[in-house]
Amino acid sequence: GQQLNQSPQSMFIQEGEDVSMNCTSSSIFNTWLWYKQDPGEGPVLLIALYKAGELTSNGRLTAQFGITRKDSFLNISASIPSDVGIYFCAGQLYNTDKLIFGTGTRLQVFP
């Protein structure tokens, strides 16, 4: 099935460090979403972006909707142990609720 290109695939960082991950697509999307998924659980919505160039924050998380509408990035500042999990980007076309997900970034945080 179709998946967006997400990088890096995995990250191992120390508590307190900043993290950056990004997502690229060959298609244009009208909405970009970032989700976090813990093992055996459903994805939890972190941030939603609706306009090209939009920069949105949610606590220590900041995400941007790329100008070309084909990419997005997510930054996590001052990481803590509970940030551990798999982060997925997802693109959504206008007038459809279908989400195309990225391949995921697995984040490990060491104390």
Partner 1 sequence: ETGVTQSPTHLIKTRGQQVTLRCSSQSGHNTVSWYQQALGQGPQFIFQYYREEENGRGNFPPRFSGLQFPNYSSELNVNALELDDSALYLCASSIRNTEAFFGQGTRLTVV
Which one of residues 43, 66, 85, 91 is an interface residue with partner 1 (CB under 8 A)?
A: 43
Cα-based distances in Å from 59 to 15, 55, 63, 87: 16, 13, 11, 16
Pairing of strands 19-24, 5-7: antiparallel
* Residue 41 interacting with partner 1 (CB under 8 A): yes
Beta bridge partners of 91: 32, 100
* Residue 48 interacting with partner 1 (CB under 8 A): yes
Binding string, residues 18-37; x marks residues near partner 1 by CB under 8 A? -------------x-x-x--
Which one of residues 7, 20, 62, 103 is an interface residue with partner 1 (CB under 8 A)?
A: 103
14 or 97, CB closer to partner 1? Answer: 97
* Residue 82 interacting with partner 1 (CB under 8 A): no
In angstroms, rounded to a whole number, what is the distance separating the alpha carbons of residues 6 and 22?
A: 6
